[in-house]
């Protein structure tokens, strides 16, 4: 890897010697963790949630945040329990979760529990609907979720403390201390939270109230970042993120009791180096990721620990020939090893890739061509291309489009789990296309935007575990066709001391099995993919008082692949009121949030209870 990086440096230095000077392009990437080629590829819809949105309620996990603020479906097993995402009708393992440029999904499952990621640990979350295998590799099929930390220089000492209490014995506090001068920056975040989640429920309206059992959640986490300016144009960034949590697994609605619980520990440590020159940016990063998951059920006599280690090294370089032509090239190598009940001796997987991109822009046109050549365990993965195009038709109308090839490698469990694991599995793969029309209008007091996106995606060799002679085994048996329309609306108004903001979205998604293991599932919607979803948010700010209301509609989902069983649609409301105070360098916020305002009785997953109306009250102190 080191040798390749050096080669890359020389190669780029050679090119830059012949190139023209363009300073503005380089500067914009100063605080960016991965190249802009990858963070905001041309032709894609990327929603950015900045730090102000991430800390509205400090206890929010990334899962909660996405569920409330974006149109993606979060499959949650209950308060504090496992939560995974489904973007554009794909499954949980089709979302690439990228932390500061590193994919962090479990190599065993290909997915990640988003309930274990505190939103307050991030400075920015970017959600890209639609995959891009050429840029992010395996798993970037449904969409890409980027969790970014940003650590600017020259901010002095900053301090933040959040304390929050909530219904069902919820308690959260976190501290963030930042210090930076011109050449050094440090950020420390500590978090501890717990909740009993013992919410009341009724089996039927006429039966006595009962209480959810064994649903507690506890988490302690620390994130330390350090950034050094080695030279005026070079930065070194070191991060370490440790988390320890315990999730009790509550009984289903048809289970008398449960003593099951899952311990989860992870260590994510990364080092990245960045060199910024007038025309080029070089980045190299390496990281080690350790995950420990321990499922225990003392009644059933199950104790199932699993460990996984992943190391990822990557180098990428961006070269800006001029304002019109920019190039990007990178190499990546990752090694994963895991030990689980199904393969106690351990199994490993190696992946390498070389990727490149070319971005061309001229007046009203922008385009990006990306390519990736990957290897998995020494086997070639076919060349993965993607192409994006954007055009400003008028000042107020923008058209965006992209065509991508996407793939997902089988996970370690798919390949090696005993019994059933199938080492002959092929990667899932397929093409996706999308087209967006976006209009935006602006005046002194208001701004308005509306977009409509149509997408189409096919995935072949979709891996399903199907029954065999005596046990289940994964097969490349299915073919899934997803298509849909996404609409987004945003309107902002500022008059005097009043500010008004309205955002909303409506998604229609069909995601059907074109080929299936049994005939009855053909042309049927995938389970837990709502055909319709809508969300809206209205926020009013007057001086230091802010009141917002969010509403979320999730359409009916099927719970069986033959679509013979389903869960009803539900609507959730969230009301949030916040008041800010400031005195010299100190500022403070107090907030009250009401979740499930309308006390809707709903289920996200069959036989899993969800809480009714609940409250959260918190205070936040800042020093700057």
Partner 1 sequence: MKHLFTILTVFMSFILNAQTIVTLEDINVAQDSSLNGSNANGSFQSTNAIFPNTYNAMFDFSSGWVISSKRDTVTSGFTNAYSAKAGSGFNGSPNYAVNFDNNTIRFTGRVQLEGFYATNNTYAYNSMRDGDQFAKRFGGETGNDPDYFRLNIFKYLNGVRSADSVIFYLADYRFVNKSQDYIIKNWTWVNLSTLGEADSLLFTFASSDVGEFGINTPTYFCLDNLTTRPLVTDVNDLAESLNFKIFPNPTSDWLQISWKGNENGVAQLFDLKGRLIKNERINNENTRIDLKLLLKGIYLLKININNQFFTQKIVKQ
Q: Tokens at residue 424, please?
A: 């002959």
Q: Quick check: 203 binds partner 1 (CB under 8 A)?
A: yes
Q: Quick check: 444 binds partner 1 (CB under 8 A)?
A: no
Strand extents, DSSP E, 395-427? 397-408
Q: Quick check: 605 binds partner 1 (CB under 8 A)?
A: no
The residues, ordered by sequence, that sit 6+ positions from 144 with a Cβ below 8 Å of its Cβ are: 95, 96, 98, 126, 127, 128, 131, 132, 135, 136
Query: Which 337-376 positions form the footprint of partner 1 (CB under 8 A)?
Result: none
Asked if 226 contacts 186 with a C-beta cutoff of 8 angstroms, the reply is yes
Q: Quick check: 256 binds partner 1 (CB under 8 A)?
A: yes
Number of separate helices (H) and strands (E) present in the chain? 7, 33
Q: What are phi and psi of 181, to 5 degrees?
A: -120, -155
Q: Which is nearer to partner 1, 543 or 607 (CB)?
A: 607
Query: Which 207-226 positions form the footprint of partner 1 (CB under 8 A)?
Result: 207
The closest alpha carbon to 590, from 619, 616, 617, 570, belongs to 619
Q: Which is nearer to partner 1, 103 or 420 (CB)?
A: 420
Q: Which is nearer to partner 1, 303 or 582 (CB)?
A: 303
CB of 567 to partner 1, least distance (A): 13
Out of 470, 495, 496, 583, point to the residue binding partner 1 (CB under 8 A): 470
Stretch that binds partner 1, among 240-248, 278-286, 370-378, 463-471 (CB under 8 A): 463-471
How many Å apart are CA 321 and CA 21, to the nearest integer?
A: 8
Q: Quick check: 418 binds partner 1 (CB under 8 A)?
A: yes
CB of 398 to partner 1, least distance (A): 42
Q: Which is nearer to partner 1, 279 or 561 (CB)?
A: 561
How many Å apart are CA 321 and CA 324, to the nearest integer?
A: 8
Stretch that binds partner 1, among 89-97, 200-208, 234-242, 374-382 (CB under 8 A): 200-208
What is the per-residue binding string for partner 1 in 484-523, x denoting contact by CB under 8 A?
----------------------------------------
SS3 609: coil
Q: Which is nearer to partner 1, 134 or 338 (CB)?
A: 338
Stretch that binds partner 1, among 59-67, 174-182, 244-252, 366-374 (CB under 8 A): 244-252
Q: Quick check: 82 binds partner 1 (CB under 8 A)?
A: no
Q: What are phi and psi of 54, to 5 degrees?
A: -75, -20
How many Å apart are CA 596 and CA 212, to the nearest integer?
A: 17
Out of 118, 133, 143, 420, point to the residue binding partner 1 (CB under 8 A): 420
Query: Which 267-306 positions form the footprint of partner 1 (CB under 8 A)?
Result: 297, 299-302
CB of 475 to partner 1, least distance (A): 14
Range 374-395 burial, b when 16+ CB lie within 10 A, else e: bebeeeebeebebbbbbeeeee
Alpha-carbon dihedral 32, 35, 39, 44, rounded to 10 degrees: 140
CB of 471 to partner 1, least distance (A): 6
How many Å apart are CA 431 and CA 461, to the nearest integer?
A: 12
Alpha-carbon dihedral 84, 90, 93, 94, rounded to 10 degrees: -120
In angstroms, what is the C-alpha Rg of the chain? 24
Out of 157, 419, 543, 568, point to the residue binding partner 1 (CB under 8 A): 419
Q: Tokens at residue 586, please?
A: 């100190």
Q: Tokens at residue 522, please?
A: 């053909």
The closest alpha carbon to 43, from 323, 368, 484, belongs to 368
How buried is residue 121: exposed, middle or buried, by Cβ count under 10 Å (0-12/13-18/19+)? buried
Out of 252, 490, 514, 532, point to the residue binding partner 1 (CB under 8 A): 252
CB of 347 to partner 1, least distance (A): 14
CB of 409 to partner 1, least distance (A): 22
CB of 457 to partner 1, least distance (A): 22
Out of 7, 184, 257, 542, point to the residue binding partner 1 (CB under 8 A): 257
Q: Which is nearer to partner 1, 216 or 374 (CB)?
A: 216
Q: Which is nearer to partner 1, 74 or 82 (CB)?
A: 82
Q: Which is nearer to partner 1, 253 or 523 (CB)?
A: 253
Q: Quick check: 254 binds partner 1 (CB under 8 A)?
A: yes
CB of 71 to partner 1, least distance (A): 25
SS3 38: helix
The residues, ordered by sequence, that sit 6+ positions from 480 with a Cβ below 8 Å of its Cβ are: 89, 90, 458, 459, 462, 511, 512, 513, 514, 526
Out of 139, 251, 374, 410, point to the residue binding partner 1 (CB under 8 A): 251
Residues that bind partner 1 (CB under 8 A): 203-204, 207, 249, 251-258, 260, 297, 299-302, 418-420, 467, 469-472, 527, 559-561, 606-607
């Amino acid at each position: 890897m080191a040798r390749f990086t050096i080669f890359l440096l020389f190669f780029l230095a050679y090119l830059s010697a012949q190139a023209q000077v363009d300073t503005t392009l380089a500067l914009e990437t100063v605080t960016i963790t991965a190249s802009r080629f990858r963070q905001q590829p041309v032709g894609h819809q990327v929603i950015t949630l900045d730090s102000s949105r991430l800390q509205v309620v400090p206890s929010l996990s990334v899962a909660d945040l996405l569920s409330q603020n974006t149109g993606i479906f979060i499959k949650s097993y209950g308060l504090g329990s496992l939560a995974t995402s489904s973007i554009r009708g794909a499954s949980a393992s089709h979302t690439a979760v990228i932390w500061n440029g590193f994919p962090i999904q479990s190599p065993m499952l290909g997915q990640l529990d988003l309930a274990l990621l505190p939103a307050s640990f991030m400075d920015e979350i970017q959600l890209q609907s639609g995959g891009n295998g050429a840029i992010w590799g395996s798993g970037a099929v449904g969409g890409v979720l980027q969790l970014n930390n940003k650590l600017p220089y020259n901010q002095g000492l900053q301090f933040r403390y959040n304390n929050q209490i909530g219904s069902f014995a919820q308690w959260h506090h976190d501290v963030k201390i930042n210090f930076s001068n011109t050449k050094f920056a440090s950020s420390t975040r500590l978090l501890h939270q717990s909740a009993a989640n013992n919410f009341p429920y009724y089996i039927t309206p006429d039966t006595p109230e009962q209480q959810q059992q064994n649903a507690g959640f506890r988490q302690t986490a620390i994130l330390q970042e350090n950034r050094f300016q080695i030279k005026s144009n070079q930065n070194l960034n070191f991060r370490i993120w440790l988390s320890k949590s315990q999730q009790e697994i509550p009984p289903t609605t048809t289970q008398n009791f449960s003593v099951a619980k899952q311990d989860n520990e992870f260590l994510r440590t990364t080092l990245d180096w960045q060199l910024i020159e007038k025309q080029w940016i070089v980045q190299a990063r390496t990281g080690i990721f350790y995950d420990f998951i321990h499922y225990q059920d003392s009644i059933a006599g199950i104790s199932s620990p699993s460990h996984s280690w992943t190391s990822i090294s990557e180098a990428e370089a961006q070269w800006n020939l001029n304002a019109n032509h920019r190039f990007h090239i990178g190499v990546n190598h990752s090694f994963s090893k895991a030990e689980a009940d199904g393969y106690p001796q351990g199994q490993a997987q190696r992946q390498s890739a070389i990727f490149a991109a070319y971005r061309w822009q001229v007046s009203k046109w922008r385009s990006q061509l990306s390519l990736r050549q990957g290897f998995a365990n020494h086997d070639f993965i076919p060349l993965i291309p993607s192409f994006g195009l954007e055009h400003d038709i008028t000042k107020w109308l923008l058209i965006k489009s992209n065509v991508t090839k996407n793939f997902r490698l089988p996970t370690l469990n798919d390949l090696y789990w005993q019994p059933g694991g199938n080492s002959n599995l092929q990667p899932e793969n397929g093409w996706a296309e999308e087209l967006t029309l976006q209009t935006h209008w602006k005046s002194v007091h208001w701004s308005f935007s509306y977009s409509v996106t149509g997408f189409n995606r096919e995935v072949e060799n979709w891996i399903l575990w199907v029954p065999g002679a005596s046990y289940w085994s994964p097969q490349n048996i299915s073919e899934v066709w997803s298509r849909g329309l996404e609409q987004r609306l945003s309107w902002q108004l500022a008059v005097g001391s009043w500010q008004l903001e309205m955002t909303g979205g409506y998604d229609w998604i069909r995601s059907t099995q074109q080929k299936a293991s049994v005939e009855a599932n053909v042309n049927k919607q995938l389970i837990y993919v709502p055909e319709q979803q809508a969300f809206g948010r209205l926020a009013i700010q007057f001086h230091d008082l802010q009141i917002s209301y969010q509403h979320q509609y999730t359409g009916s989902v099927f719970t069986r692949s033959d679509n013979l069983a389903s869960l009803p649609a539900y609507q959730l409301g969230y009301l949030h009121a916040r008041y800010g105070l400031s005195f010299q360098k100190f500022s403070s916020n107090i907030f009250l949030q009401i979740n499930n305002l309308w006390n809707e009785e709903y289920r996200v997953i069959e036989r899993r209870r969800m809480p009714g109306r609940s409250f959260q009250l918190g205070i936040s102190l800042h020093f700057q």
